[in-house]
Chains A and B, each alone.
Chain A
Amino acid sequence: NAGVTQTPKFQVLKTGQSMTLQCAQDMNHNSMYWYRQDPGMGLRLIYYSASEGTTDKGEVPNGYNVSRLNKREFSLRLESAAPSQTSVYFCASSEGNRGYQETQYFGPGTRLLVL
């Protein structure tokens, strides 16, 4: 099992450009998450999806959109990138539904630099 995979590993964008970060999991998990990690700020939840076809905002959703394409895949889109979105982005998945044990398994991350 590959677990959680993310593409690309690294990306440089210019301000105003758009891009989509891809995430896939092969553990048949119901829930998937997108986080960003910044120095001194820790991991902050951007969006999550408790099941196929549903998405909800997390702590820092502004400037992002998500799509739960199917049970395996959850993408994060930046429509018009800003320097403040320079960060490391992590995708995660968990087996259960909200309100139950939510042990999350993380992907390797995407490093994004917005110039």
Chain B
Amino acid sequence: QKEVEQDPGPLSVPEGAIVSLNCTYSNSAFQYFMWYRQYSRKGPELLMYTYSSGNKEDGRFTAQVDKSSKYISLFIRDSQPSDSATYLCAMMGGSQGNLIFGKGTKLSVKP
């Protein structure tokens, strides 16, 4: 089993939809959880960062961490065509001192 699992999609939604992106993980020592957004032919950019369990909101974006289920989510409200990108989850903690990335989910928001 991979340490971090992420459905690669692609996921296509109409403009204005609520998008839910998810990752599962196996290492219970992970404490730091991040979401990166990567536009086509660009480098990943940090979108959201959370520590341990709970929710974090930033504008239209909400990140959730459920450590008991080893499951993290990113919600995008009122999705826009400019949100079309690949979203990568990443996490670290415990003896794993480096970030472990999911494979990314490709999202397309249609006008």
A residues whose Cβ falls under 8 Å from a Cβ of B: 4, 33, 40-45, 48, 58, 90, 92, 98-99, 101-109
Contacts and interface: CB of A to CB of B under 8 A. Distances in A.
A100 B26 CA distance: 21
B103 A106 contact: no
Contacts of B102: 42
Contacts of A58: 98
A42 B44 contact: no
A90 B32 contact: no
Interface residues of B, number: 22
Interface of B: 6, 8, 32, 34, 36, 41-46, 49, 51, 88, 92, 97-99, 101-104
Nearest to A101: B32
Contact of B46 (A33, A41, A48, A104): A104
Contacts of B104: 42
A42 B101 CA distance: 7
Nearest to B94: A99
**Highest count of chain A CB atoms <10 Å: which of B46, B49, B99, B101:** B99
**Lowest 9 A-B CB distances belong to which pairs?**
A106-B43, A42-B103, A98-B97, A43-B101, A106-B44, A108-B43, A42-B101, A109-B43, A107-B43
